[in-house]
Copies of this chain bind each other. A is one copy, B any other.
Amino acid sequence: MRLTRYFLPTLKETPAEAQVVSHRLMLRAGMVRQASAGIYSWLPMGHKVLKNIEQIVREEQDRAGAQEVLMPTIQSSDLWRQSGRYEDYGKEMLRIRDRHDREMLYGPTNEELITDIFRNGARSYRDVPRMLYHIQWKFRDEVRPRFGVMRGREFLMKDNYSFDLDQAGAIRAYNKMFVAYLRTFARMGLKAIPMEAETGPIGGNLSHEFIILADTGETEIFCHRDLIEFDILGSGVDYENDDLQPIVDSWTKVYARTEDMHEAEVFEREVPEDKQVRRRGIEVGHIFYFGTKYSEPLGAYVSTQDGESVPVHMGSYGVGVSRLVGGIIEASHDDAGIIWPESVAPFKVGLINLKTSDSACAGACDELYRKLQEAGVSVLYDDTEESAGAKFARMDLIGLPWQIVVGPRGLKSGTVELKRRADGVREELSPDSALSKLAA
């Protein structure tokens, strides 16, 4: 993409309304604009990041055997009365009356609706296990929405729901999601740590939240260093045939708690001093096993092999997709701007033409631009007439993993500069070498 044609309204000033660094950087980098309180429009660069994150979430859900569906945003209140949650949700639920004065709502979550879909489509033990997920916008009418997309009112969430014949089956589904979440966040360059959690308004018996490390995070966390150093992507996983319980156990047997659940004494006793980690973090995922809490009132029963009718055991598993955009920035930025992990970056490379009026520079840049695209490398090409300083600042701000800087002086000796955004390391090399390095 040529920057002269790209809709990228970056800001030089820091917007006064933004309290946290990810919100400031997302506004300054032209990724989002507020449409109204807690509701955002995603501009082209923000949208690309959102889609990249969504795709990683999707791939890991599919890999774990879940099937994608899509439920609507607007729901009838009927099912929520059956489950007993219509009143529970209070003012956070956006309630709507349609033109026929029917009570509707903008879904804050989907346990009721998916249970209804399942009960109408499943009859027997042959129809379980199933995991059905969707990636859909939700609405929670927060009193004071803040922190940009980190606590918006309209937000994108992946929510998965599992249906099993019994508790043992449901725990297998829970474990699949436990491992899938570790893989999902690791692929985004995040260190995510599962922590035992309260079940809150979803209800249920067993629950973990997944907290990513970020110095600017909302929550203080306490955990064993092994959890941070463990490399989940280092070994493959066969969701169908592996017993995942040992993997889950290895993550849950050591101390890992948020400030709400923290007990200093237990921490000191259980974790050797050199293994004690005190950091800050952000919740980006939450998984629940809640048994028959919804299947019983909503009548989601299947027949067993013996012909008995039993309510299915269920769990639900959420990832805050839009929240992750902010979360990744909180975990990965410096004073100059965002530092995108390659897996979610809007473009892999920023190509800077230092002197557009110079035909050698323009020629070299045009060729690099074409060759990078031919090699399947996404590139944002700064072909504007602005000053070198403005170009450097903007490229650092938007945080693409690699920068190629092309100037008249370097070209005379046949080189361009390749800079890695994460650590600022620079290298002079020929355009072809830069190309083969990035296309690898």
The residues of B that contact A116 with a CB separation of less than 8 Å are: 35
A117 to B41 alpha-carbon distance, docked (Å): 8
User: Which residue of chain B lies nearest to A67 when distances are taken between CB atoms in the complex?
Assistant: B44
**Total interface residues in chain A, CB < 8 Å:** 56
Q: Could you tell me if B91 and A7 are in contact, using CB atoms closer than 8 angstroms?
A: no
The answer to whether A67 and B7 touch (CB under 8 A), given A94-B98, A121-B43, is: yes
Chain B residue nearest to A154 in the complex (CB): B72
Are A76 and B35 in contact, CB atoms less than 8 angstroms apart? yes
On whether the beta carbons of B9 and A67 are closer than 8 Å, the reply is: no
Contact pick for A69, options B44, B70, B91, CB 8 Å: B44
The residue of chain B having its C-beta at the shortest distance from the C-beta of A70 within the complex is: B42
Q: B99–A35 contact, CB under 8 A?
A: no
Q: Given the complex, which residues of B lie within 8 Å of A143, measured CB to CB?
A: 99
B72 touches A35 (CB 8 A): yes
CA distance A6 to B5 in the complex (A): 44
- Selected contact of A76 from candidates B36, B118, B134, CB within 8 Å: B36
The residue in A9, A40, A118, A134 that gathers the most chain B C-beta atoms within 10 A of its C-beta is A9
CB distance from A305 to the nearest CB of B (A): 14
Q: Is residue A428 within 8 Å, beta carbon to beta carbon, of the partner chain?
A: no
| The one of B9, B44, B71, B120 that contacts A68, using a Cβ cutoff of 8 Å | B44
Write out the residue numbers on chain B whose beta carbons fall within 8 Å of the beta carbon of A50: 70
- Closest-by-CB residue of B relative to A118 is B7
A132 at the interface (CB under 8 A from B): yes
A137 within 8 Å of B (CB atoms): yes
Verify if A113 is at the interface (C-beta below 8 Å from B). Answer: yes
CA distance A7 to B43 in the complex (A): 35
* A35→B126 CA distance, assembly (Å): 25
Say whether A304 faces chain B, with CB atoms less than 8 Å apart. Answer: no
Interface members, chain A 1-23 (any B CB < 8 Å): 4-7, 9
Which residue of the partner chain, among B30, B40, B78, contacts A121 with CB atoms under 8 Å?
B30
Interface check A141, CB cutoff 8 A = yes
A 21-55 to B, binary, CB cutoff 8 A, 1 in contact else 0: 00000000010010110011111100110100000
Q: List 25 A-B contacts (CB under 8 A).
A: A7-B130, A30-B121, A33-B121, A35-B116, A39-B74, A39-B75, A39-B76, A40-B72, A41-B69, A41-B70, A41-B117, A42-B69, A42-B71, A43-B117, A47-B68, A47-B69, A47-B134, A50-B70, A72-B137, A72-B154, A73-B154, A74-B106, A74-B154, A94-B96, A98-B141
Return the 7 tightest CB-CB contacts between A and B, nearest first.
A9-B121, A36-B76, A42-B70, A44-B67, A91-B99, A41-B71, A39-B72
